[in-house]
Amino acid sequence: MGRYRFILWRPLQLVPVLLGVSLISFLLVHAIPGDPVRILLGTRATAAVIEATRAQYGLDQPLALQYLYFLKNLAAGEFGKSIIFKIGIPKLVVSRIVPTLFLLGYAIFMSVVIAIGFAVLAAVYRGRWPDQVVRVYSTAGLGLPAFWLGIVLIILFSIELGLFPVSGYGETPLDHLHHLFLPALTIALALSPVLIRNLRASLLAEMEADYVKAARSRGLSEAKIFRRHIFRNSLIPTITLLGVNVGWLIGGTVVVEQVFSVPGLGSLMVSSIFARDYLVVQVVTLAFALAVILTNFIVDIVTVALDPRVKL
């Protein structure tokens, strides 16, 4: 019964969180110096045209009233129109969300593969040179900025070797995999060191657990013990850690999309911030916040599915 109550009540917690995010993003974006109308119309626009355009977009109203109008329109499903792109914000966001979701999924898949491979290798060969190499990588990787790593990968694999395109998203699914390989690898190389350290520590702790010793005494093979008991139980804290890092992952995506010119939500947010396109920034910020909250919710459910001892 507690699980069903959790599943029903947890989405309701979205409301105050999203309200807080919307208020903070609204205040921050309006604190940026500059006028979106002047940026849109240019330096030759007359004062009358500027005032008329400001009134058209509701920018002549007090900030408190603008925020209340934003919440009212948001509740009615009316997200408004982009000042710079001149199209509806839902259409604009939908056109940019697919590359971002593809990149996020690609990067998470790479991160998990790298983390599992290296952590298992380090745990099995504990104290020997494979373990030392993995520990050096997991420590050094924590200090690598995503934008610097992306530039290095572009120089090495795109410019010098010509294996991958420098930028873009491609047209077909195979093109997407090819174009987004380096951006996804950039994010994965920055995220995987945290997962490797956590999973390695969990594997080593589980290997010394009493139930593992009992399984060995019953004559079970090491491979079966590792697969059925050690590995599964070690994944639980790593999955939780991955969910906690979703916020960082989204922030890293914003930076990486700029480096590789991926037409996703991250590049849309950056261009909208520079253009003072208030509504677009607010809606994209809410979309990112919603993604983080829903991901944490899914991680909670998966954790309980993997370990019935965990209570929601």
pLDDT tens-digit map of 54-85: 777 777 777 788 788 778 877 777 777 777 77
* Total domains present in the chain: 1
Q: How far is residue 115's CA from residue 109's CA, in Å, rounded to a whole number?
A: 10
pLDDT of 195 above 80: yes
Residue range 102-115, pLDDT digits in tens: 998 899 899 989 99
Residue 276 pLDDT grade (very low, low, confident, very high; cuts 50, 70, 90): confident
pLDDT in tens, 203-250: 888 877 777 778 777 777 777 777 777 777 787 778 778 877 777 787
Asked whether residue 15 is assigned to any structural domain, the reply reads no
- Residue 24 domain flag: no
Confidence at residue 185, expressed as pLDDT on a 0 to 100 scale: 92
Domain membership flag for residue 236? yes
Domain of 282? 100-306
Which CATH number goes with the domain that contains 109? 1.10.3720.10
215 or 134, higher pLDDT: 134
pLDDT at 181: 92
Indicate yes or no: pTM above 0.85: no
Q: Is residue 9 part of a domain?
A: no
Identify whether 227 is part of a domain: yes
Mean pLDDT score, 44-62? 75
Is 279 inside a domain boundary? Answer: yes
Indicate whether 8 belongs to any domain: no
* Mean predicted confidence (pLDDT) in 109-133: 88
pLDDT given at position 308: 59
| Residue 144 resides in a domain | yes
